[in-house]
Structure formats: C-alpha cells, structure tokens
Amino acid sequence: MKKNGWGAARATTPKPPQIEAVTAMEEPPSETGGEQFGRYFDQVPLAIIVAQMTPSETIVYANPAFEHLTGQAAVEFLGKSWDSLVGRDTRDVGRSLGDAIASAVECVGIFRLEPKGQEPVTVEAHSSIIVDDDDEPAFRLAALMIVGERSLVRLQEIEQQILDRDARLIEIQHRVKNNLQMITALIRIEARNINTIDTKEKFDRLAGRIESIQLIYQLLSDSVGSDEIDLGIYLSNIAASVMSAHGTEGVRLDLKVDSYPVSVNVALPTGMVANELLTNALKYAFVGRDGGTITLHSLTDSGGCSVVIADDGVGLPEGVEWPKRGKLGELIVHSLQQNSGADLKVKSSPGKGTTVTIRFTREASAPEH
C-alpha cells in the first residue's frame, strides 16, 4: 500500500528484520534530492546507500554507518555510479559489489570489504527498488549488514550442502541413463532372436519408448542444476535414434528444429509421440515404394512452438485412426495434452501421407522455475 507519495519497495523474498525495517518506511522523502534521506537514515546503524534511478543510476546519499563501514566519506560516492563501490563477491572474485547491486534485487550476496585503515569485513548486501506513485522506479536502496564469522560459516555450509545435493542428483540421473541404455540394448538383442513378427515388433516399440526416456536423462545429466529440456535438441536425438534403429535405404529425414525450453513433463510425452510416429512412418508409410521423406520440424514463433511430424507415404488405411483407442499411444497423447495443453491434429489421406501437428503455447509449456 502506498503512502504519502511513496511507492512500496518491490520485494518477493524475506529479508533480515534490520533490512525489512528500512525498506518498509511509511513516509520517505517527497523530493528527489539525496539530502532528504538524511532525516530517515542518518541515525540508522545499518549501512545505507541510495541511488536515484533517472536519468541514470547516480548515488545521491550514503549514511554515516556506510561511511564508517567502508572507511570512506559520503562525498566520495555522491554523483557517481555503483561502480564506485569496492568489495568482492566471496564466491565469484570477478564480481564487484557495485556491479552486483546494480543488477539485482533482494539479497545480492556476500561480499568482502577492505575499509581504509580498518580490518577486512564480510557483509551481506541487499537491494530494493523504490517506485513512485506511477509505479515507476525512483530510487535503488542498498543496505549492507555485517555477517559474523559463525553466520558466514553457516552460509558456506548451506551452499556446500546444496552443491553436494546437486552432485548426487546428477550422479543419480547419470546412473538411470546408463541403466536405461543397457535395458534398451538387451531388449533389442532379445528382439533379434524372436521369430514371431508381431512379438518382435512389440519388443522394438518397447525399446524405442525406453530409449526416449533414456535420452531425457542424458540431457538432464548434461544440464547441471536445471530441470528444463531443450525440445529441439531432444527431438533431434529422438530422430537420430529412430533412424539408426529402423532407417531404410531411400527414406530421408527432413529435420528442422529451433531451441525451445520446456519442462520434463512436456518434453517426455512429446518425445514418445515423435518416437511412435517416426517408427510407424519408417515401417509402414513406404510399403511398396522405393522410399520417400519423413519430416520432423519443431519451429518457434512469438506465440509458442509447432511440432510437425509427417511423411509423404501411403497414408493411414481407410477406417484406421491414430492414435488407436485403448492403446498406449492414446495414453501418451493424453499425457501430452494434459501436461502442456497441446493442441494435436492428425491429417491423412490415401497416397498422400500422414501429418501430425502439435502446437504448444509458451505459457502452457514453459519450464517451472
């Protein structure tokens, strides 16, 4: 709620009580001059520095606590940009305090300061954007709070725990990928020894579906700390796998993909649908023909992404539809539509091939962060 011509600080995560008290003022300055901040922050024991946002971010105020903490007088900062602040990120030595404040909101990070004539000190930096009555950025307020050695050690322990957890997760994903790869290979070997065509085909389809899952885990293992999948890369891998397993002479693949990040829950059923359709096309679309073209396009636009899987083969037999009701293919398509709100259309005619178009909107298919 705005009061006395002052916009609220934009905040999304909890702050330490000292920081929250500073950014929750009910009666901030109504003028743009930095001197107006004095009556609010001069007596605050927390180190405060403020920059005016327009026409450019220029420091207009630093309180006495900030002067004491940095060992520099306020006049050394006034009229300058955030670059004038010294201090290095404890985790990234190439990242300065000033650069970090200018590019972040909320908790900026932990920094090591070396005040003039004083011992080095470790601080936790916070930044808030103050907006005016028109909800336009007016000031950026940064606050520095000294971090005790015990607190710093605890923060480092938490960070290490997170890194260890991520490493374990990556290792699990890697093992799952390898296990699925082995299962796929065993199924394909077993399929070669089966004489019944129908049973052999079922084994092949099972191997293809498992391989679709294995390829997901491979991409997850490659993308450290992320749970999103690039749909373009994933579909390219699916196509390469299917062509390797079932490709025949005379059949070419027309592959065009754009980079398009989606959640795992969207990527997996999409990949399994692509695997199913590509396999069907290689096995049935060109029966009695010398060959043809299979198309896999995954192209983006301002509204989202369209995946087109098509062939110029014989088309679906009369009275046959895809996916067949009651079969696994229908369950996969239902999962795809439920997870991403995808619109799926099938077009087929005798002698003119089959085209399946899957349309995603950005809002429905975007990965969750």
Question: Could you write out the DSSP letters of every residue in 14-49?
Answer: ---HHHHHHHT-SS--SSS-GGGGHHHHTT-SSEEE
CA 165, CA 308: separation in Å to the nearest integer? Answer: 38
Find where tokens 């725990």 sit.
Answer: 161
Q: Is the pTM of this model over 0.85?
A: no
Q: Mean pLDDT, to the nearest integer, of 258-279?
A: 88
Torsion sign across C-alpha atoms 194, 195, 196, 198: positive
pLDDT digits (tens, 9 = 90+) for 296-337: 999 999 889 999 999 999 998 888 888 888 777 787 888 888
pLDDT digits (tens, 9 = 90+) for 60-82: 999 999 988 888 888 888 989 98
Nearest alpha-carbon partner for 69 in 55, 86, 89, 52: 86
The answer to whether 85 touches 176, Cβ cutoff 8 Å, is: no
CA 255, CA 239: separation in Å to the nearest integer? Answer: 8
Q: Mean pLDDT, to the nearest integer, of 125-139?
A: 84
